[in-house]
Amino acid sequence: MIDRIGLADFLRRRREALQPEDVGLPRGPRRRTSGLRREELAVLCHMSTDYYTRLEQERGPHPSEQMVAAIAQGLHLSLDERDHLFRLAGHQPPARGTEGEHVSPGLLRILDRLTDTPAEIVTELGETLRQTPLGVALTGDATLRTGPARSLGYRWFTDPATRALYAPEEHAFLSRLYASGLRELVTLRGPRSRAARLAELVLSESEELRRLWDAHEVGLRPREVKRFVHPVVGPLELSCQSLVDPDQSHRLLVYTAVPGSETAERLQLLAVLGAQAAPERRAVPG
């Protein structure tokens, strides 16, 4: 059963405790609200202000699990707080661990501050959970993908268009890297895991992966410098640093250019162009 009074009070108090700078929003010179406004939080939760407002006013529909998860993420809740919110809303909390998609508040706070840098938060299966605006301009909005295609490894072996964003001389190594990483995950997580189901699916569709899988190569690690071929600004050589959340096995990937380099100049141009330069907006039909 939903606890409407408890839910409304919890939402209101957590919203009022969040400051604009906590979630990457400007405060503004005339701000009177101590915490976030309802309309600001609604945007972070990807829902209408009216829908969210009704929850705080102890009315409206029974929120679905997907809605509760979106609110928990928008409020930057910890896992314990997320679970509490689910119970207040009358749902069982999602399972914790490596298959969870709730991004920790710490990773979100860092991501929110990377306003001028391509960055993303990904699962161990290469599913993008969050991106900075410049990250979207670099690789496209990967958060919109659904099903197995959410995984970069799946797309790498099943969708030839995926490879167009990466320098051709990197393709062979990246194929080995994704095969190695997936095989390690299957062994680590077990035959009933999401990793095992994904491997089975890709193996059924990709002859290349079957060949690499038979080689049993493990232990490969990503190279520090990633070479992209952006359809608008051209070649980019970006260093990639990662920060790991051990509880959820999420990684924050941050892409940077050497100051003063040609790539740095192209990255500045990409920042000006924004999402309109994202690769999927430039895709050639057919």
DSSP string, 13-31: HHHHH--GGGGT----TT-
Q: Number of C-alpha atoms within 13 angstroms, CB side, residue 127?
A: 22
The Cα–Cα gap between 58 and 149 comes to: 38
Q: Is the pLDDT of residue 282 over 60?
A: no
Buried b (16+ CB within 10 A) or exposed e, 24-49: ebeeeeeeeeebbebebbbbbbebee
For residue 79, give both structure tokens.
Answer: 């896992």
pLDDT of residue 34: 75
Reported confidence tier of residue 283, pLDDT bands at 50, 70, 90 = very low
pTM of the model: 0.85
284 has a pLDDT exceeding 50 = no
Please list the residues that pair with 229 across neighbouring strands.
235
How confident is the model over 23-50, as pLDDT tens digits?
888 777 777 777 899 999 999 999 999 9
pLDDT at 31: 72
Bigger pLDDT: 276 vs 125: 125
Strands 225-230 and 128-131: unpaired
pLDDT given at position 7: 96
Distance of alpha carbon 214 from alpha carbon 216, whole angstroms: 5
Of 92-106, 209-223, 230-244, the least confident = 92-106
List, for residues 122-180, the tens digit of each pLDDT value.
999 999 999 999 999 999 999 889 999 999 999 999 999 999 999 999 999 999 999 99
Q: Taking the alpha carbons of 151, 154, 159, 163 in that order, is the dihedral positive or negative?
A: positive
From 150, 168, 280, select the one nearest 235 (Cα to Cα): 168
Distance CA 79, CA 88 (A): 14
Task: Give the burial class of 160: count Cβ atoms within 10 A of its Cβ; 0-12 exposed, 13-18 middle, 19 or more buried.
Answer: exposed
Which residue matches tokens 């992966």? 209
Question: Residue 227 forms beta bridges with which residues?
Answer: 237
Q: What is the pLDDT of residues 62-80, one digit of tens each?
A: 999 999 999 999 999 999 9
Can you name the residues that pair with 236 across neighbouring β-strands? Answer: 228
Read off the amino acid at residue 130.
Answer: R
Taking a C-beta distance cutoff of 8 angstroms, is the pair 94, 102 a contact? yes
pLDDT given at position 147: 95
pLDDT of residue 22: 85
